[in-house]
Structures are given as C-alpha cells and as structure tokens.
Amino acid sequence: MPIFHYGEHTESAGTAIIEVIPAVAGMIPRLTSIRYTAVTTAQTLKVMRTVAATTAAANAAASQLVIEFTDTGAMNLPTTGADEVIAASDYVIYKTENGVYEYNSVASVSGNNVTMNTNLAKAVDVGAPIYILGELARAVHLDWAIPVGENNDDGLALQGGIPGQICPFNKRSGAGEPILIYCSNVTNAATQNALSGGYVDASDVAIT
C-alpha cells in the first residue's frame, strides 16, 4: 500500500498551513495520523475533498496566473443538488508538468479562463487533471478540532471521497483524487508536527 508522510510545517500566524495529498490512480487517500501543536489558540484542521474534476484545455506556462479549463460550469454539486459554477475563492489542485500536485485558489473566472491567486510554480500541460474542491465552507469537507496543546491523533481513517449520506447529489469514491489538508492557523501560529497516512484500493472500500 502506498503511504505518505509530511513532517514539521509552520507558518506565521494568519497564514494557512496547507498540505496536498496527491492522487494515485485507483487508490483512495486516507489520513491516519495527525500530530499538531496549537500553542495558545485552538485551531481547525479541514480535510478538503474533491467535488468535481476537469482537465487543462491548453498548456499553461509556469509563473502565469491563468489556466484554461475544459469545463467551468454546472459541475460542482453542493448538498442542495443545485448546479453551480467554479467561482472566486474555490480551491483547486492541478497536476504540473513534473507530476507534482499543486494547490491554488481562484481569483476570478472569465469563460473557461480561470485566474488563480498565485502564479503557477510549474507549467501545466494540456490534458492535465484539475480537481475542484470548492470553497472552504463547503459542507462536504471535514473539520477536525485541534485544541490548545500537543495533539497526537492516531488510528484515524479520514479519507477522500464523498459518501452519499454527506452529499447524496454528488457521491464520489475518491479513487484517483487528491485531498487538501488546511489549517487556518489563526491568531497564534500552530505547528504541524506530522501528518501521515496511506492509500486503499478502491475495490476494497464500499462508499455509501
């Protein structure tokens, strides 16, 4: 079973601590251990799931802001079942030319041209997968409380995918999709001591 592990990571207070768990074909990512220290301010760790996917319609060079999406409309299904389009503040993950999965957030959308808030670190090739996670407040994302102090939460099974009981209009297995781990890191800086987990074969998991 493939595994992943992220070590110590901190940012200045007010700057989010973010990790991307990359996609593996036919496998569902599962976060099994969270080790965090919240010094004087409790934090919230958010496990952001993929709600829709598309591809890059054209090559996008490194250091530019715009990616042309193959589709930007009527493909994100929130818990109400109503269609919505990609919009400002949505988070996305895309696969870069060197195979690294990079996250970004949307600044604006014009047709299929999506402008990011941060320049692309690496080029994105035409046909590259793009995963849409929606906004931070999306109901399908999982919040994990980090109280003040050192927190060692092991034996977890926080995985990608969207079960039907969470969102019956957009049930997803999570196979071959990434997840994004987001800590708001508000007021007083926290420290991610470690995050780890692995992948389970989609055929071994029943998502209902």
Residues 30 and 90 in one domain: no
pLDDT of 71 reads 82
Q: State which residues form the domain around 187.
A: 1-49+140-208
Residues 133 and 115 in one domain: yes
Mean confidence (pLDDT) of the chain? 90
CA distances from 4 to 31, 121, 127, 134 (A): 9, 22, 26, 24
Exposure class string for 48-78: b at 16+ Cβ within 10 A, else e: bbbbbbbbbbeebeeeebbbbbebbeebbbb
Q: Residue 205: how many CA atoms within 13 Å on its side-chain side? A: 21
| Least confident among 13-17, 23-27, 69-73, 144-148 | 69-73
Q: Which of 120, 138, 156 is the last residue of a domain?
A: 138
Tally of domains within the chain: 2
Q: Measured between alpha carbons, how far is 151 from 31 in angstroms, rounded to an integer? A: 15
What sections of the chain are H helices per DSSP?
A: none
Segment 64-93, tens digit of pLDDT: 999 999 987 655 555 565 556 788 999 999
Q: Which of 138, 169, 187 is the last residue of a domain?
A: 138
